[in-house]
Amino acid sequence: MSNSKESSDYVLNKRYELDVVYLLRSANPAYKNSAYIGTTPTPQKRLRMHNGELAAGAKRTKSRRPWEFVLLVYGFPSKIAAFQFEWAWQHPHRTRHIDSYSYQKRDNQIDTKLRVLSDLFCSKSYCRWPLHLHIMISLDEFNKISKKSSPISNLPKNFRITQGSFDTYLSETGNMYSFADINGIPKDLRYASQFNKFEKIKQKNPKCNLCGGIIDIMNHETYLTCLSTSCMYTSHILCLANLFLAQEKSEKNHLSNDEPLLPISGRCPDCEQTLRWGDLIDTMHLRRALLE
């Protein structure tokens, strides 16, 4: 137990770096409404690079300095997923996720970028993801620049949204793995529980409870564990997604004929607790931060 206590203190004190996709706008009057999209695990540092306060990188944005954040999007299940989202947002005229015909190449206007974001959030590919949108300008200003298509006017219900300064963002993400309680389990206990489960799973030949296939325990992004502290249910991420999607389908939780790629929530087959997909993904990131 002392081991897990030390590890949890370590993670509590260490800021786990989330991959954030960000939108900047130029505050240079000559480039009013000019926008830029990028991905970084350290947004504060990245902004200083764009503004030339730190050396290296960000050549393409040099002439339009100074820059300021409009918003951050995070909650991606992996670094690759964040990059794919960034690419789609940067290339609306080419991406297959949205109606690309309504967009033109090299349109870097801020209102267009917000319209693309709105389309992506509502797209079949992304509407079920556990994404978090953090707006860094006032909501009045935000509504003004997004004109007719604000990404917050019809945000999918599983998305989280916050607004405020960089400090607000940091305190939000500092609590990323607590979200108050998840299924009634406070933060400290979740840290200890993830550590203990990992130690237990490691001792036997870890297998997926759904397909029986081997689990590569150091490859944290490939498997999930139940959120209940006493339940050892462990499965591949894709196996559990398929099970939850089948549960949702049988309960007719989604009414359209489209087959979603990701579930919103489901029941653990062992302890029968309801588990939110976003909470499972957060917990997976927690385990990775704790044990990698």
Q: Does 246 sit near Zn ion (CB under 5 A)?
A: no
Q: Does 243 sit near Zn ion (CB under 5 A)?
A: no
Q: Does 271 sit near Zn ion (CB under 5 A)?
A: yes
Q: Does 236 sit near Zn ion (CB under 5 A)?
A: yes
Nearest distance, CB of residue 119 and Zn ion, angstroms: 33
Segment near Zn ion (CB under 5 A); pick from 4-12, 18-26, 162-170, 263-271: 263-271
Residue with tokens 């300095």: 65
Interior angle at CA 101, CA 96 and CA 107, nearest 5: 100
By CB under 5 A, the count of residues binding Zn ion is 13
Q: Does 23 sit near Zn ion (CB under 5 A)?
A: no
> Which ranges constitute the DSSP H helices of the chain?
2-13, 43-50, 79-90, 110-122, 139-146, 166-174, 187-203, 237-250, 277-291
Nearest distance, CB of residue 237 and Zn ion, angstroms: 9
What binding mask, one character per residue, do residues 180-219 give for Zn ion by CB under 5 A, x or -? ----------------------------x-xx-x------
| Residue with smaller CB distance to Zn ion, 176 or 210 | 210
Nearest distance, CB of residue 292 and Zn ion, angstroms: 21
All residues at 6 or more sequence positions from 176 whose CB lies less than 8 Å from its CB, including other chains: 16, 18, 282, 285
| Cα distance from N-terminal residue to C-terminal residue, the chain | 19
Residue type (1 letter), 137: I
| Residue with smaller CB distance to Zn ion, 135 or 262 | 262
Distance CA 123, CA 84 (A): 14
Distance CA 192, CA 187 (A): 9
Nearest distance, CB of residue 60 and Zn ion, angstroms: 43
Nearest distance, CB of residue 136 and Zn ion, angstroms: 38
